[in-house]
Amino acid sequence: MEAQQPQPQPQVVPGTLSWRLSSHPITLLTFLAFRISSILVYFFGLWVSSSMVMIFIITILLLAADFYYLKNIAGRRLVGLRWWNEVDPQSGESKWVFESSEPGTKVVNATDSRFFWLSLYVQPLLWILLAVLAIVRFHFMWLPLVFIALALTIMNTLAFSRCDKFSQASNLAGSALGTTNLAGSIASNLAGRWFSRG
């Protein structure tokens, strides 16, 4: 009787959408739960519950929790990005502040990153679809809730997109300054040309 050879296990590709591959599975699952629950409560509340006030309150609370968790916890732990808004007490001017982890200090898991960016861009699209559905079905009373949801999700999406661009630009500048001393060579060439004219 021949001994059966063990079957080779299929290789799991990094970035596969499986929460088991996450570096922070609890953070990822909580993040996804907040993202999905507000849409589900709103969607099923339209057909199951007759209490618009209860659905409105629960959805707003879930949206607020999602906004806070994404901005302050999930973004930092899953992709190393964070943003906030500061008001200058002297001038009263409001400015956005973007923070990213230092290059080399945090390795971003491909699965975490993929889940994060997909859910970040898909959720506003789903709320736009729900807004169209409310208009088509003449449920105009629900539109304020949908607009609040759109405002919160789009704000996070825009802020994290800008934060990611800022992070990539600072990483590029840091590598240029650190490895090739690009800025120094450009400055010395400009100074050489300036003094050679005089």
The predicted-structure confidence for 166-186, as pLDDT tens digits, reads as follows 666 445 444 433 433 444 444
Q: How far apart are the first and last CA of the chain?
A: 94
Q: How far is CA 196 from CA 141, 183, 184, in A?
A: 72, 20, 18
**pLDDT score of 197 more than 70:** no
pTM for the structure as a whole: 0.72
Cα distance between residue 162 and residue 160, in whole Å: 5
Tell me phi and psi for residue 98, to 5 degrees.
-115, 135
Q: What is the dihedral of CA 152, 154, 157, 159, to 10 degrees?
A: -80
- Per the CB < 8 A criterion, the answer to whether 115 and 28 are in contact is yes
Tens-digit pLDDT profile for residues 99-125? 887 766 777 888 898 999 999 999 999
Tens-digit pLDDT profile for residues 29-85? 999 999 999 999 998 887 777 788 999 999 999 999 999 999 999 999 999 899 888
Q: How far is CA 70 from CA 59, 65, 121, 161, 194, in A?
A: 16, 8, 13, 13, 50
The 8 Å CB, 24+ separation contacts for 53-62 are: 56/145, 59/145, 59/149, 60/145, 60/148, 62/34, 62/37, 62/38
